[in-house]
Structure formats: structure tokens, C-alpha cells
Amino acid sequence: MASNASFEYLDLKPGTGSFLEDVIAGLSSSAKSLPPKYFYDARGSALFDRICELPEYYPTRTELAMLEANGADIAERAGAATAVVEYGSGAGRKTRLLVDALRPRMYVAVDISGEQLQSAVGELAATFPDVRMVAVCGDYTRPLPLHQLDMANGARRVVYFPGSTIGNFDPSDALAFLENARAVAGVGGAMVVGVDLKKDPALLHAAYNDAQGVTAAFNLNVLERINRELGANFDVTRFEHCAHYDAQIGRIEMHLVSLCDQVVTVGHRELRFAAGASIHTENSYKYSVPEFQALAKQAGFNPEHCWVDPQRLFSIHYLVAAR
Ligand SMILES: C[S@@+](CC[C@H](N)C(=O)[O-])C[C@H]1O[C@@H](n2cnc3c(N)ncnc32)[C@H](O)[C@@H]1O
């Protein structure tokens, strides 16, 4: 583990090995898809941060305001001695509010986007020099050796998962993720999770189809990343961003749709895309409060409290590990 004056860095090298195989497997099947984790190279992370600033993208500003308003309440529930483990920490703006409220003994950030992770945790470490900070560059969909970290003896573990990133999992994978988080928290430990609520489809549609086209650029960047890192030859002007809300399933689906018949070379493979063929790049499931609480209970959490903003756009759940 590398370490400097302000934080420790554990690089599990999540990007190496499987990118080419995952791309070929996802794009050769009849229902084409790409795992959303590949959005987040340095450019993708920067584009996501721009999405968070967009007028149409209500989740970030709503969750930030909710944390400002309820940080003291969260801290009171968590108690004085905590160790926070955050998954998908990103730029760390929400982290700053949580760490400020909880003043944990230790903070562990897990993210797949190494450059952003180091810069965000570096800034946090400078702001909170008394908190031991560890940055883990890793893939949270795989087993992580967090047991290697000496997790602040006697502190209550609080798993933090903001941004409604839980919505990127299908419900069965979300359940598995929550079960793992419950094991990381340990009996009596807690989880603070931000979850986007079901709402007027027009608001959802606008949030994922912004007027400036930043979400489109974010979606298309995955093809540009495949070009950059795997030497492929996607012409991104021949694909179009498409996001729609499926109210029956309760999820936003993001796709990249081929605008013509085309053949793209990735590695040694030639991949055919018919006009209108789509690559499914991301889901973003929305949950009502009772739906999410039922999932949390199934994963072995007691849903102790839930905050909802006055416009009923977003929820923050405080869950306690019951087993
Ligand atoms: C939707 S963004 C949320 C960022 C931030 N937590 C927020 O609330 O604004 C998802 C974050 O999770 C990270 N991420 C996505 N898939 C991941 C994976 N499989 N393993 C680790 N981190 C991942 C991304 O790099 C990104 O920082």
C-alpha cells in the first residue's frame, strides 16, 4: 500500500485484464450492452461532475441540501466513534458533508476511477487532517480485501453509498450489494444510502436528456474510451444517446443507438451494428421508500430512518445491520 503524508492508497488495478473481454462479450451478444463501470475513466468522471451541476439533474443538489439539513441527525444516530467506508466516492462533495458531520476516526473511499479518487481523497485529507484516510482504487462489484485494513478498533462501521448509484444495479444485484455492505458494517453497524425516488416521468426524462448534451457526451465517452484504450475505431457521430423511463419496471434506461449499418473493429474482432441497433449502457432504477426499505430488510438491515426532501424527489436511508 502506498502512503503519503495525508492518505494511504491501495491500488487494486480494477481496470486491467477484463476490459477487452467485457467489451467483446457485451457487443457480440444479440442484446448488446456494456457494463456502466466503464463510463468512469478520467474524462467520464469529469463529465459526470458536469452532469451533477446541470439544472435538469436534480439528484445531486437535492441530496447535498438534504445532507446539509440532516448531517447532525445522521451523526447522532451513528454515534461518536465511527469508521466510514464509502463506495463510489467520486468527486467527494457529499463525503465532505458527511465527514464534517460525523468526524469519523477513519474514512475509506472505494472508487474505480483512480485519478479522481486520489485527487478527491487528497483534498479531503487536507481538510480533515485528524481523520485517517484510505483510498482504495477497486471495483466494488468484486470482492475487495477491506479486511486488510485495520478498521479503527471499536468504531461503528458506517457504509456510505450516495448518489443513487445503487439504482445502477438490477434489484437482485442491488440485494447482493446490500448484503455485502451489511457484512462490511458488521452487526450494529450502519449504512447511509441515497436513493432516487419514483416521480413524474417528465422530470426523469429531462434529467437524463439535458439540453446541453452533457449526458449524451458522458454516454458516448464509453465508445471513445474503447477507441483510446483498446484501439477500436468507433465513429461516435454514428451513434446517438437515448435515455427513456420505463414506468412499468421503474427505471431509466440509457442506450447508444447505431444511426446506420456499420462494422466496427475492436481488438481482432469485427462487430456489426445494424441501423437502429442499440447498446444498453446503464439502468437507473427508482424506488419508493417502502420498496427500498423492503429490499434493505431482505438484505438483513433494519431501516431505522428515512429522510425525504420537501419536493419528494430523493431519499436518504439510515439502515442498521440487524445480523
Ligand atoms: C453515479 S457516480 C456517483 C458519484 C458520487 N458518489 C455522487 O454521489 O455524486 C458513481 C461513482 O461510482 C464509481 N463507480 C462506478 N462503478 C464502480 C465500480 N464497479 N467499482 C467502484 N467504483 C465504481 C464511479 O467512478 C463514480 O465515482
pLDDT digits 0-9 by tens, 94-144: 999 999 999 999 999 999 999 999 999 999 999 999 999 999 999 999 989
Distance CA 55, CA 267 (A): 39
Residues contacting residue 197 through CB under 8 Å, at least 6 positions apart: 286, 287, 288, 289, 308, 312, 313, 314, 315
User: What is the dotted CATH code of the domain comprising 55-199+286-321?
Assistant: 3.40.50.150
Domain ranges in the chain are 31-41+201-284, 55-199+286-321
Atom 11 of ligand 1, residue of closest alpha carbon: 88
Pairing of strands 314-321, 8-11: unpaired
Atom 4 of ligand 1, residue of closest alpha carbon: 90
Å from CA of 275 to ligand 1 middle: 32
Q: Which residues form the pocket of ligand 1, taking CB atoms under 6 Å from any ligand atom?
A: 37, 40, 45, 48, 52, 60, 88-90, 94, 110-113, 139-141, 162-163, 165
Contact 140, 260 (CB under 8 A): no
pLDDT tier for residue 1 given thresholds of 50, 70 and 90: low
Name the burial class of residue 71, with classes exposed (0-12), middle (13-18) and buried (19+) by CB atoms within 10 angstroms of its CB: middle
Instruction: Compute the average pLDDT of residues 209-213.
Output: 98
Å from CA of 197 to ligand 1 middle: 19
Q: What is the pTM of this model?
A: 0.97
Element (H, E) at 219: helix 214-230
Name the burial class of residue 248, with classes exposed (0-12), middle (13-18) and buried (19+) by CB atoms within 10 angstroms of its CB: exposed
Atom 10 of ligand 1, residue of closest alpha carbon: 88
Atom 20 of ligand 1, residue of closest alpha carbon: 139
State what percent of residues in the chain have pLDDT above 90: 93
